[in-house]
Amino acid sequence: MKNKQKRQSMIIIGAGMGGLAAGVYGQMNGYRTEIFELHTLPGGQCTAWKRQGYTFDACIHHLFGCAPGSPIYDMWQEMGAMPRELVMPQECTSVSTLDGKMFVDYYDSRKLEEHMNKLSPNDSKVIHDYVKGIQAFTKHDTMAAMFTGKKSDILKLLPGLFSIAKWMKPTMQQVADRFEDPFLQKAFPLLVYSMPDSPAFLHLARHGYGNSRNIQWPVGGALEFSQSIAKKYESLGGKIHYRARVAQIIVENDKAMGVKLTDGTEHQADIVISNADGRRTIMDMLGGKYVNDQVRESCGEPPDESMMAVSVYLGVKRDLTKEPSAMILLLDKPEMIAGHEHKNLEMQLFGFDKTMAPARKGVIKVELHSKYSYWKQLHEDRAKYKAEKDQVTEQVIAILERRFPGLRNQIEVKDVTTLVTWERYMGGTHGWTNMPKRKFTFSIIGNSGKEEYDRTLPGLANFYFCGVWATNIGALFMNAQSGKKIVQAICKEDGIKFAATTN
Ligand SMILES: Cc1cc2nc3c(=O)[nH]c(=O)nc-3n(C[C@H](O)[C@H](O)[C@H](O)COP(=O)(O)OP(=O)(O)OC[C@H]3O[C@@H](n4cnc5c(N)ncnc54)[C@H](O)[C@@H]3O)c2cc1C
């Protein structure tokens, strides 16, 4: 629907990826924008913090869109996040036993095939098939095709569709079952964040992206990445108000008119965009007035169990430069940690980015599955909550000591976050897993056409969502892109031609 008059101003709630992108593209298209962010920093989930010279990065494992010329890179460039210094880790991840036997999932296909053949010569056919699969994905920008939704990008997939189609159905576990070697059988299904039921094509696409240097690591980590976007936003004339928590969206005649902060101040604008948790926005900031069955369903409880629910950070006086960037450590027997049975530990070893720690030192981050309710309940008794965090840290250190002898005495700083930490930090309802309760189904053609997601609310004009609530996907580029898409949609409604520039 076209508005009679171009709207002039936007208020954006939250300076996460979606909010920052909405701000950047809003400014580029002549809107006066302001962002209200409850925290003291931009970035939302894309964040990090310093402890005694160590940087603890809470977010990035794989940053998509690092190869100049790819559509996602172009968007980062428009947002001021590229070009920047990048590091190319050697591997997508690695799997190790406690006594050091390793499967390194090298990005370089030749090196990968050689390495896997050494591990299991009898599996050479399956290994070759896997490597060919990665190479097929390397040739295609599948993520851009699936998510940017441009018909031209989808058409580019067609000639290679046959070679990637066979990977669309099997899970990681089903591919792993083809190996004869017991170690590969055990290690392979874990390559996607220890989720054997993940579709194999997700892993191959990610791997292909690494192969073509379209996934890399931004030197300095997540917070510096977010700050570069905030800087671009401010250089375009946008204003971020920090420590500014929105309590209410002001509505008159079913039109969003502005926001009221917890300090009681009111701020007016023609458009309000929420990048904040959807449940809080719909039920608290709007008092549950603009809902239908679908919205009510989306606001239901998300799954209680989550990967990366607890992170243990260790700043260590140990050179990690020769270690892989990411490792899944297989335990010899299951262990209850954070109320969850763990058969392996997922970790990142930040020896590959010199800026993350003082010289000859490094950071190890271990990520654990756990339940939101487990931590929420513990948090009611702060002493118990702290004791459990200490216990989890101790268990993790005891395991790591077996793989990295001497590590215990090299630890200089420790920190632990849980889903409750995220909730406190970002004002959400379920830690960082604040997605709508909807099943996300995946298909190349299907998703590209789904532009509408949940970007508006029934009966409320001049209001939009961006970020995870609009995309239902936990990926930086997707949520940044949701901010761009919402400004495109607003420009269309206002009858102006959307503009984006890298200047
Ligand atoms: C542990 C972890 C690892 C990840 N790894 C990767 C990865 O390797 N690669 C990748 O691409 N993606 C990764 N992601 C996903 C990615 O970080 C997120 O999808 C993305 O950052 C979410 O962006 P968003 O736009 O939804 O905003 P969010 O990050 O959710 O930000 C919302 C903002 O709104 C603010 N806010 C909330 N309520 C209010 C209020 N009332 N008033 C004012 N402000 C408010 C919050 O403080 C926050 O700043 C990871 C996420 C996590 C948590």
57 lines ligand 1 (CB under 6 A): no
Two tokens, residue 123: 């599996």
DSSP state of 303: P
User: For residue range 447-500, what is the model confidence (pLDDT) as tens digits?
Assistant: 444 445 568 999 999 999 999 999 888 999 999 999 999 999 999 999 999 999
CATH 3.50.50.60 fits 9-50+223-301+434-494, yes or no: yes
Shortest-distance Cα residue to atom 45 of ligand 1: 14
Nearest CA to ligand 1 atom 38: 276
Mean pLDDT of 346-365: 97
Nearest Cα residue to atom 20 of ligand 1? 476
Q: Which atom of ligand 1 is nearest to the CA of 285?
A: 41
Instruction: Tell me the range of 44-53, 422-431, 467-476 where mean pLDDT is highest.
Output: 44-53
- Condensed to tens digits (0 to 9), the pLDDT of residues 5-37 reads 789 999 999 999 999 999 999 999 999 999 999
Quick one: pLDDT at residue 6? 85
Among 11, 24, 39, 59, the mutation site with the greatest number of ligand 1 atoms within 8 A of its Cβ is 59
- At 411, the pLDDT band (50, 70, 90 cuts) reads very high
Q: 158 or 344: whose pLDDT is higher?
A: 344
- Angle at the Cα of 364 (from 363 to 365), degrees rounded to 5? 115
Ligand 1 lined by 44 (C-beta under 6 Å): yes
Q: Would the pLDDT of 148 be above 80?
A: no
Is residue 16 lining ligand 1, measured as CB closer than 6 Å? yes
Ligand 1 atom at minimum distance from 245 CA: 42
What is the mean pLDDT of the segment spanning 424-434?
Answer: 87
Ligand 1 neighbourhood includes 18 CB (under 6 angstroms)? yes
Identify the pLDDT of residue 337.
98
Strand partners, 56: 49
User: Taking the domains of the chain in order of start, what are their residue ranges?
Assistant: 9-50+223-301+434-494, 106-186+196-212, 305-420
pLDDT digits (tens, 9 = 90+) for 394-404: 999 999 999 99
Q: Which of 120-124, 175-179, 189-193, 441-445 has the lowest mean pLDDT?
A: 441-445
DSSP annotation of 432? B
DSSP secondary structure letter of residue 32: E
Collapsed DSSP state (helix, strand, coil) of residue 322: coil
- pTM, to two decimals: 0.95
The b/e string for 450-464 (b: 16+ C-beta within 10 A; e otherwise) is eeebbbbbeebebbb
The residue whose C-alpha atom lies closest to atom 10 belonging to ligand 1 is 475
60 lines ligand 1 (CB under 6 A): yes
Q: Provide the pLDDT confidence category of residue 142 given band limits of 50, 70 and 90.
A: confident
State if residue 486 touches ligand 1 by the CB under 6 angstroms criterion.
Answer: no
Does the pLDDT at position 440 exceed 80?
no
Mean pLDDT computed over 348-365? 97
Our measurement of the distance from residue 356's CA atom to the centroid of its chain's CA atoms, rounded to an integer in Å, reads 19
For atom 48 of ligand 1, which residue has the closest CA? Answer: 44
Quick check: CB of 427 below 6 Å from ligand 1? Answer: yes
Q: Binning pLDDT at 50, 70 and 90, where does residue 293 land? A: very high
Mean pLDDT of the region 126-143: 89
Cβ of 347 closer than 6 Å to ligand 1, yes or no, is no
